[in-house]
Amino acid sequence: VKKVLEIALGVVTSIGGFLEAGSLATSAQAGAAFGFRLLWAIALGTLCLIFLVEMSGRLAAVSHHTIASAMRERFGFDFFVVPLVTVALVSLLTLAAELGGVCVALQLATGVSFPWFVLPVLVVVWAVLWRGSFGQIEKGVSLLGLVTLAFLVAVFRLDPPLGEVAAGLVPSLPEHDAGRYWLLAVSILGASLTPYLFYFYSSGAIEDRWDDSHLTVNRSVAVGGMSFGGVLAAAVLVVAATVFLPRGVRVESYEQLALLLTDAFGAWGFWLFVAAFGIACLGAVLEITLAVAYLIAQGFGWNWGENVAPRDAARFAATYTLALVVAALPVATGVDPLRLTNLSMVLSAVTLPVATLPFLVLMNDRKYVPGHANGRLGNAVVLVVVVLACVLAVVSLPLELVGGG
């Protein structure tokens, strides 16, 4: 019974914690511009994420290493510094985008400009990190994040044509705006596979003291949680395709996005969106801040852990404090959070090989995962999707420039 409860809680928190500014914005932009046609990108990204999350949990449970510490040990610091710097920079940019998302949610609710909220949000997030434990942060925010299920309910209320929705799962070439189509596909893949996700997951598994006995929980959470999470991202795309596309609205600001649920829920729709968006972004802010601190602390061999008192992991606490301050700068100066989100998702896709390929090597090293090394299918899926996302990102940028999307 305890195991079943653990699995259920893991799956539920994964669902609640899946959506964030990146997946929400890119899915909505894709739906508004191309209808259901980019659903395949969400399906592909989710499939790859299931493998990556399962691998990172398996690595932690079997080797008792996080990805960062195992990489550093296996390849040496001189090599590890490349993924360390790359993932840290992309994660900081993503953190800025998510922080901007929380502030935009407050702006939507009050009408007060989003930069005014940076400082109060920063203080609240920092206090939660300083005082809270890993379990409280992970489960608390993720359970609140279940409000994002509103997007799934909206799909049923809007009753989209199911045949067309299903057809969107099959990759197809665009009829117009090829550059924008591929760039959105890349952004969706970048949003689904943001490296902080699986780096964070492996650190969380160590925080929760996982061992071999958690392999079933790990597999269930990876498959169940990420699949349902992917369904939520797909729901956002379907709702945007149903609400925005027929009206000719292309999403270029969060103010437009705020009307996503009003057709389905009327007056409740606006507030549901604000709550779902704000909570999803807040959860992502907490997770990414911790992920950056985990990565850097593990990379340099410092004491780390959200379950450790700050005075016993001072450099870890200083790192998340500094990460928050750095990420707050662009938001405080008024940089458009949606543009930050789009930029961070594309960069996330471009840098995927740097973050994941050394990890794949680790997962095939029997010294780290004795008896639990990757199968061919897992290797192939991750390799193909990661290389595809990177190549598409590099190719679609000039296409977008020439095509003028």
Nearer to other proteins among residue 109 and residue 361 (C-beta): 109
Please identify, using beta-carbon distances, which residue of 46 and 396 lies nearer to other proteins: 396
Any contact of residue 283 with other proteins (CB under 8 A)? no
Please state, in angstroms and rounded to a whole number, the distance separating the CA atoms of residues 56 and 285: 21
How far apart are CB 109 and other proteins at their closest, in Å? 8
Does residue 64 bind other proteins (CB under 8 A)? no
- Of 48, 98, 13, 38, residue with least CA distance to 355: 48
Nearest to 389 by CA among 248, 159, 190, 94: 190
Q: How far is the CB of 185 from other proteins (least distance, A)?
A: 12
One residue of 20, 54, 98, 177 binding other proteins per CB under 8 A: 177
Shortest Å, Cβ 192 to other proteins: 17
Q: Which is nearer to other proteins, 84 or 260 (CB)?
A: 260
- Quote the CA–CA distance of 11 and 8 in Å, as a whole number: 5
- DSSP, collapsed to helix, strand or coil, labels residue 69 as helix
Six-digit token string for 387 = 């290389």
Tell me how crowded residue 311 is: count the other CB atoms within 10 A of its CB: 7
253 binds other proteins (CB under 8 A): yes
Q: Does 262 bind other proteins (CB under 8 A)?
A: yes
* 8 A C-beta contact, residue 368 and residue 73: no
Q: How many residues does the chain have?
A: 405
163 CB-near residues (< 8 Å, 6+ apart) = none
| Contact call for residue 248 and other proteins (CB under 8 A) | yes
* Token digits of residue 64: 């008792």
Residue ranges of E strands in 257-375? none
> Contact letters (x/-) for other proteins, 365-404, by CB under 8 A?
--------------------------------xx-xxxxx
Answer yes or no whether residue 258 interacts with other proteins by CB under 8 A.
yes
The nearest distance, CB 315 to other proteins, in angstroms, is 34
Choose which of 259, 318, 357, 391 interacts with other proteins (CB under 8 A).
259
Q: Which of residues 96-115 bind other proteins (CB under 8 A)?
A: 107-112
CA–CA dist 125, 148 (Å, integer): 20
Least distance (Å) between residue 198 CB and other proteins: 24
Nearest to 284 by CA among 1, 23, 12, 5: 23
**Phi and psi (nearest 5°) for 16?**
-65, -30
**Nearer Cβ to other proteins, position 309 or 402?**
402
x/- mask, other proteins, residues 181-220, rule CB under 8 A, reads --xx--x---------------------------------
Residue 31: CB minimum distance to other proteins, A: 14
Distances (CA, A) of 173 to 35, 251, 394, 403: 13, 21, 18, 15
Residues 9-48 touching other proteins, rule: CB under 8 A, are 29
Query: Which stretch in 3-11, 154-162, 172-180, 315-323 sits in contact with other proteins by CB under 8 A?
Result: 172-180
The smaller minimum CB distance to other proteins, of residues 126 and 270, is found at: 270
Pick from 267, 333, 366, 371 the residue near other proteins by CB under 8 A: 267
- CA 87 – CA 296 distance, rounded (Å): 10
Size of the site for other proteins (CB under 8 A): 41
Of residues 109 and 395, the one with the C-beta less far from other proteins: 109
Annotate 181-243 with DSSP letters as a single string: HHHHHHHHHHHHT-THHHHHHHHHHHHTT--GGGHHHHHHIIIIIHHHHHHHHHHHHHHHHHH
Residues at the site binding other proteins, with contacts judged by CB under 8 A: 29, 107-112, 176-177, 179-180, 183-184, 187, 247-250, 252-253, 255-256, 258-259, 262, 266-267, 269-270, 339, 342-343, 346, 397-398, 400-405
